[in-house]
Homo-oligomer: A and B are copies of this chain.
Amino acid sequence: MPLRSDWSARPCAIARSLDVVGDPWVLLVLRDALLGARRFEQFRERLEIADNVLSRRLQAMVAAGLLRKATYRGEQRTHQEYLLTEAGADLLPVLNALALWGEKHTTPPRPDAHIAIVHTACGETSSSADACDNCGTPMTAGDTAWRRSWHTPELTELRPADNN
Protein backbone atom coordinates (compact mmCIF):
# COMPACT_ATOMS: atom_id res chain seq x y z
CA MET A 1 0.00 0.00 0.00
CA PRO A 2 2.00 2.87 -1.28
CA LEU A 3 1.34 6.48 -0.39
CA ARG A 4 0.89 7.27 -4.04
CA SER A 5 -0.87 5.48 -6.88
CA ASP A 6 1.01 3.99 -9.79
CA TRP A 7 0.01 5.31 -13.20
CA SER A 8 3.00 4.01 -15.13
CA ALA A 9 0.98 1.35 -16.98
CA ARG A 10 -2.06 3.42 -17.87
CA PRO A 11 -3.21 3.62 -21.48
CA CYS A 12 -3.53 7.39 -21.13
CA ALA A 13 -0.29 9.21 -21.88
CA ILE A 14 -1.28 12.02 -19.51
CA ALA A 15 -1.51 9.59 -16.61
CA ARG A 16 1.83 8.00 -17.52
CA SER A 17 3.45 11.43 -17.70
CA LEU A 18 2.05 12.34 -14.30
CA ASP A 19 3.53 9.18 -12.89
CA VAL A 20 6.91 10.73 -13.68
CA VAL A 21 6.38 14.48 -13.30
CA GLY A 22 3.27 14.64 -11.15
CA ASP A 23 5.26 16.05 -8.28
CA PRO A 24 5.87 19.74 -7.82
CA TRP A 25 9.51 19.30 -6.79
CA VAL A 26 10.31 17.39 -9.97
CA LEU A 27 9.00 20.24 -12.14
CA LEU A 28 10.78 22.85 -10.03
CA VAL A 29 14.07 20.96 -10.30
CA LEU A 30 13.57 20.83 -14.06
CA ARG A 31 12.82 24.55 -14.14
CA ASP A 32 16.11 25.35 -12.42
CA ALA A 33 17.97 22.82 -14.55
CA LEU A 34 16.67 24.62 -17.64
CA LEU A 35 17.86 27.88 -16.06
CA GLY A 36 21.34 26.43 -15.76
CA ALA A 37 21.53 24.77 -12.35
CA ARG A 38 23.56 21.58 -12.27
CA ARG A 39 24.87 20.95 -8.80
CA PHE A 40 23.14 19.68 -5.65
CA GLU A 41 24.05 22.86 -3.80
CA GLN A 42 22.63 25.09 -6.53
CA PHE A 43 19.30 23.31 -6.53
CA ARG A 44 19.17 23.29 -2.75
CA GLU A 45 19.81 27.01 -2.38
CA ARG A 46 17.46 28.14 -5.15
CA LEU A 47 14.59 25.79 -4.35
CA GLU A 48 14.68 26.06 -0.56
CA ILE A 49 14.15 22.32 -0.44
CA ALA A 50 15.19 20.00 2.38
CA ASP A 51 18.37 18.07 1.69
CA ASN A 52 16.85 14.63 1.97
CA VAL A 53 13.93 15.53 -0.24
CA LEU A 54 16.22 16.92 -2.92
CA SER A 55 18.47 13.88 -2.71
CA ARG A 56 15.57 11.51 -3.20
CA ARG A 57 14.14 13.56 -6.05
CA LEU A 58 17.41 13.75 -7.95
CA GLN A 59 17.89 10.00 -7.62
CA ALA A 60 14.34 9.34 -8.79
CA MET A 61 14.76 11.73 -11.71
CA VAL A 62 17.95 9.99 -12.78
CA ALA A 63 16.15 6.65 -12.54
CA ALA A 64 13.26 8.08 -14.59
CA GLY A 65 15.66 9.30 -17.28
CA LEU A 66 15.02 13.02 -16.81
CA LEU A 67 18.52 13.74 -15.52
CA ARG A 68 21.90 12.17 -15.95
CA LYS A 69 24.52 12.20 -13.20
CA ALA A 70 28.13 13.03 -13.95
CA THR A 71 31.33 14.01 -12.19
CA TYR A 72 33.33 16.96 -13.43
CA ARG A 73 36.47 18.72 -12.38
CA GLY A 74 35.80 22.31 -11.25
CA GLU A 75 38.43 24.95 -10.46
CA GLN A 76 38.80 23.96 -6.82
CA ARG A 77 37.55 20.42 -6.65
CA THR A 78 35.53 17.71 -8.33
CA HIS A 79 31.76 18.09 -8.35
CA GLN A 80 28.72 15.97 -8.95
CA GLU A 81 26.38 17.39 -11.52
CA TYR A 82 22.96 16.55 -12.86
CA LEU A 83 22.48 17.20 -16.55
CA LEU A 84 19.22 17.29 -18.46
CA THR A 85 18.60 14.36 -20.74
CA GLU A 86 16.59 14.80 -23.91
CA ALA A 87 13.51 13.54 -22.07
CA GLY A 88 14.10 16.14 -19.34
CA ALA A 89 14.62 18.99 -21.80
CA ASP A 90 11.50 17.95 -23.68
CA LEU A 91 9.43 18.92 -20.66
CA LEU A 92 10.01 22.58 -21.52
CA PRO A 93 6.53 22.92 -23.09
CA VAL A 94 4.94 21.69 -19.86
CA LEU A 95 6.80 24.32 -17.87
CA ASN A 96 5.99 26.98 -20.46
CA ALA A 97 2.31 26.08 -20.29
CA LEU A 98 2.44 26.32 -16.50
CA ALA A 99 4.18 29.70 -16.73
CA LEU A 100 1.57 31.06 -19.13
CA TRP A 101 -1.27 29.80 -16.96
CA GLY A 102 0.30 31.21 -13.81
CA GLU A 103 0.79 34.60 -15.45
CA LYS A 104 -2.86 34.68 -16.39
CA HIS A 105 -4.54 33.13 -13.39
CA THR A 106 -2.40 33.71 -10.30
CA THR A 107 -1.34 36.88 -8.53
CA PRO A 108 2.36 37.67 -8.20
CA PRO A 109 3.66 38.89 -4.82
CA ARG A 110 4.68 42.16 -6.46
CA PRO A 111 2.82 43.49 -9.50
CA ASP A 112 6.01 43.76 -11.54
CA ALA A 113 7.14 40.14 -11.10
CA HIS A 114 6.63 38.54 -14.48
CA ILE A 115 8.08 35.83 -16.65
CA ALA A 116 8.17 35.81 -20.43
CA ILE A 117 9.07 33.05 -22.85
CA VAL A 118 11.70 34.22 -25.31
CA HIS A 119 12.51 32.35 -28.49
CA THR A 120 16.18 33.31 -28.73
CA ALA A 121 16.39 31.99 -32.27
CA CYS A 122 14.29 34.93 -33.49
CA GLY A 123 14.49 37.15 -30.42
CA GLU A 124 10.76 37.49 -29.85
CA THR A 125 8.60 36.57 -26.87
CA SER A 126 6.07 33.83 -27.42
CA SER A 127 2.60 33.33 -25.99
CA SER A 128 2.60 29.67 -27.01
CA ALA A 129 4.13 26.87 -24.96
CA ASP A 130 5.86 24.98 -27.73
CA ALA A 131 5.78 26.97 -30.96
CA CYS A 132 7.15 30.46 -31.42
CA ASP A 133 4.15 32.53 -32.40
CA ASN A 134 6.41 34.98 -34.15
CA CYS A 135 8.38 32.72 -36.49
CA GLY A 136 6.20 29.62 -36.16
CA THR A 137 8.97 27.12 -35.51
CA PRO A 138 8.86 24.62 -32.63
CA MET A 139 10.70 25.82 -29.53
CA THR A 140 13.25 23.61 -27.81
CA ALA A 141 15.34 24.02 -24.68
CA GLY A 142 18.29 25.03 -26.85
CA ASP A 143 16.67 28.08 -28.41
CA THR A 144 14.30 29.21 -25.68
CA ALA A 145 14.87 31.25 -22.53
CA TRP A 146 12.79 32.76 -19.76
CA ARG A 147 13.06 36.48 -19.15
CA ARG A 148 12.24 37.15 -15.52
CA SER A 149 11.81 40.60 -14.05
CA TRP A 150 13.09 39.67 -10.59
CA HIS A 151 16.50 38.59 -9.45
CA THR A 152 17.53 35.08 -8.47
CA PRO A 153 20.65 33.74 -6.77
CA GLU A 154 23.40 33.80 -9.35
CA LEU A 155 24.36 30.56 -10.98
CA THR A 156 28.07 30.31 -10.44
CA GLU A 157 30.43 27.87 -12.08
CA LEU A 158 28.33 27.60 -15.19
CA ARG A 159 30.16 25.54 -17.71
CA PRO A 160 29.21 25.69 -21.37
CA ALA A 161 26.14 23.56 -21.98
CA ASP A 162 27.86 20.83 -23.95
CA ASN A 163 25.49 18.24 -22.50
CA ASN A 164 27.84 15.35 -23.05
Interface residues of A (CB under 8 A from B): 4-5, 7-24, 27-28, 31, 48-49, 65, 87, 90-91, 93-110, 113-115, 128-131, 133, 136, 138, 148, 150
Contact = CB atoms under 8 A, between A and B. Distances in A.
Given A12-B148, A22-B24, A96-B97, 12 more contacts: A12-B102, A12-B113, A13-B99, A14-B27, A14-B95, A15-B102, A17-B101, A17-B105, A90-B104, A93-B101, A94-B94, A129-B129
A101 B109 contact: no
Given A11-B150, A94-B98, A97-B130, A27 B18 contact: yes
Contacts of A113: 11-12
A36 to B, nearest CB: 15
Nearest to A133: B131
B9 A98 contact: no
Contact of A17 (B4, B5, B16, B106): B106
Report, nearest first, the 5 A-B pairs whose CB atoms are least far apart. Answer: A22-B24, A13-B102, A17-B102, A11-B113, A16-B106
B115 A14 contact: yes
A13 B93 contact: no
